């Protein structure tokens, strides 16, 4: 499986399926445990991620690490990736770009087989809810909810969360996000 992930990573590094390859420095494939039970899915690389080729390394990444600690986890315990693999200069992928890039995410999900998928923010959440045919609502309504899904091959839990960058833009959200993460950890520990 490690080899399959490495092959997929190489495909992403060579990818020119949408014009975002032109503005990337390094594509951001994702990182973490190949056997992770929890997969976190953000939107796409920002300035710092594009420079280093790693997900969630800027201010939002610092907050994400804090949130994982609140939930009793470390970055190494989970797998962190995005729906878009190349730098998004305006933070808004087009529908065409999402369609071009998300087959890579789908393959990551198939290879890693997380039992808990946490989309972060509205766009990642919309993608995951549509993929698993869940009734969609804005993240403001869905954040922190724990939803079970069954696929042909497995069972999984979807937990939509605010993107940590939302708390940087609106500090009042920070406490809400922390409560979501603590409650999520308690619920998972009680299972
Ligand atoms: S954003 Fe995705 S589809 Fe577009 S060039 Fe990068 S890896 Fe390929």
Give how far Cα 115 sits from Cα of 72, 170, 174, Å: 17, 31, 26
Query: Is pLDDT at 191 greater than 70 in this prediction?
Result: no
Summary count for the chain: helices (H), strands (E): 8, 6
At residue 190 the predicted structure's pLDDT band, cuts being 50, 70 and 90, is low
SS3 content of the chain, % helix, strand, coil (to 5): 50, 15, 35
178 in a structural domain = yes
24 in a structural domain = yes
54 in a structural domain = yes
191 in a structural domain = no
Residue 133 zone, left/alpha/beta (φ > 0; ψ -120 to 50; rest): left
Contacts of 110 (CB under 8 A, 6+ apart): none
Select from 13, 26, 83, 100 the residue to mutate for testing ligand 1; criterion: most ligand atoms less than 8 Å from CB.
100
20 in a structural domain = yes
pTM equals 0.95
d(CA 54, ligand 1 centre) in Å? 15
Taking only the tens place, the pLDDT of each residue in 75-113 is: 999 999 999 999 998 889 999 999 999 999 999 999 999
Taking only the tens place, the pLDDT of each residue in 111-157 is: 999 999 999 999 999 999 999 999 999 999 999 999 999 876 678 99
156 in a structural domain = yes
190 in a structural domain = no
Give the domain range for residue 123: 2-185
CATH number for the domain spanning 48: value is 3.40.470.10
Average pLDDT, the chain: 94
Query: Is pLDDT at 58 greater than 70 in this prediction?
Result: yes
Of 142 and 190, the structure prediction assigns the larger pLDDT to 142
Check if the beta carbon of residue 158 is closer than 8 Å to that of residue 128: yes
122 in a structural domain = yes
Q: How many domains does the chain have?
A: 1
């Amino acid at each position: 499986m490690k080899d399959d992930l490495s092959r997929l990573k190489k495909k992403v590094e060579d990818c020119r399926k949408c014009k975002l390859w032109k503005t990337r420095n390094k594509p951001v494939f994702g990182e973490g445990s190949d056997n992770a039970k929890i997969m976190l899915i953000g939107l796409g690389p920002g300035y710092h991620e594009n420079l280093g080729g790693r997900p969630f390394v800027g201010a939002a990444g610092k907050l994400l690490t804090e949130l994982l600690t609140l939930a009793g986890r470390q970055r190494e315990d989970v797998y962190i990736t995005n729906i878009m693999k190349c730098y998004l200069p305006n933070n808004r992928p087009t529908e065409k770009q999402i369609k071009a890039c998300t087959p890579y995410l789908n393959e990551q999900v198939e290879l890693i087989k997380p039992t808990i998928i946490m989309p972060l923010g509205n766009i990642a959440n919309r993608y995951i809810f549509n993929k698993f045919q869940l009734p969609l609502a804005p993240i403001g309504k869905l954040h922190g909810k724990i939803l079970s899904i069954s696929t042909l091959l497995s069972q999984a839990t979807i937990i939509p969360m605010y993107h940590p960058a939302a708390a940087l833009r609106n500090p009042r959200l920070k406490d809400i996000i922390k409560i979501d993460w603590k409650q999520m950890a308690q619920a998972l520990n009680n299972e």
